[in-house]
Structure 1
Amino acid sequence: MASEVSSVFVPVIILIVIELSGVAREIDLYQALHEDGANIIPFLFPGERNLIPNLGRFSFIHSLNVSFLIISTVIISLDGGVSVIWVIALLLAVWTVLPVLEVDEYETIIKQGVSPKSIRRHMMYGPILISYTFVHFTFLIEAQEWYISVVGQALFVGLVLGSVPLFLSPLATELSETSTQQIGNQQPRSQEK
């Protein structure tokens, strides 16, 4: 039964992530960076507001995509079976290309000579987060010693909460470095179409 659940839900979740990435790609991040609207990500503690840059609904969509990939990893971890390694590899592949699927502005950033550190961070952090999630929900969640379970869960929560700022903060910096040139050289996307 569990294998049937993961064989249905994980591909559906990946399709949802890809579709949401298309929606995120349509957001003009240069415009979102300079708008003073409220950040729509709910915050758990007051200092967290300074960790996540305000990129409008892009921040929310990216957080949602990351959450869906983590949920898929949890489903696979609890399922077990022979095909687990292939599904984890697929999730890692989707995680790796997620920034390129979501951010249309990378072309401009690269053309202006700014090295996109946000992509590298996302690519390095993904295998760590997905691997730990798999290990945590496969082995550590049922540890005999209570302190291993508590430390394991605290580490899991920290990794999950840290994943979004680790990508969005350098992305906002890259957008800031190229935004003055971008605003002066191009029309907003809404006028291009």
Structure 2
Amino acid sequence: MERFFECDVNTNSRENMIEFLTNHYRYYTLNSWNRSSSYANNVKLYNLGLDSNDLDFAYKIICGDEILCYELYDDFNFIISQFKETYGYDIGFNGRSGGYLVLYYGEKVDGDVVVYPGRSIDSSDKEYFEDWSDGELKDRVELVKAFDNICDMIRDVFIDYLKNGEVIEQEEVVKSYMLTLN
């Protein structure tokens, strides 16, 4: 797996851990109006390091309605559910076009994960972390690195579909109802 988002952090250095957390990309957890933000990664197609052929095909999959890729989204959801089960936090696509993966605050309650997508996770101000113990900082760095690793996994799965997926033609019958006045 290529490390595109995840990076090494010296967890023996308080300064390096705080630097990593405060400089990590952030995005709003709901909308900009509530000012709640969390750790995030920009996963817009043109930011994924794709060559021009893969990028063109990616736009057809994501933005078009000609090629449906339910398996791809099932794979994304499976990867995210494993993270959620392990860490008690959730990951979701956010932004107008779903171009950001955002880490959502959650906690385990009676064996289930309860997610609070409107809550901020931490702050980008260094002063925010002043009172944190080294152990708390290390735990948060490990969580954010695991989030970045999941983003890398999702990117890798997407690239695998672009390179190795097969487009097949399938006919679907759609039943619909119309309301009319007689």
TM-score with structure 1 setting the length? 0.35
More strand by share: 2
Structure number with bigger Rg: 2
TM-score with structure 2 setting the length? 0.36
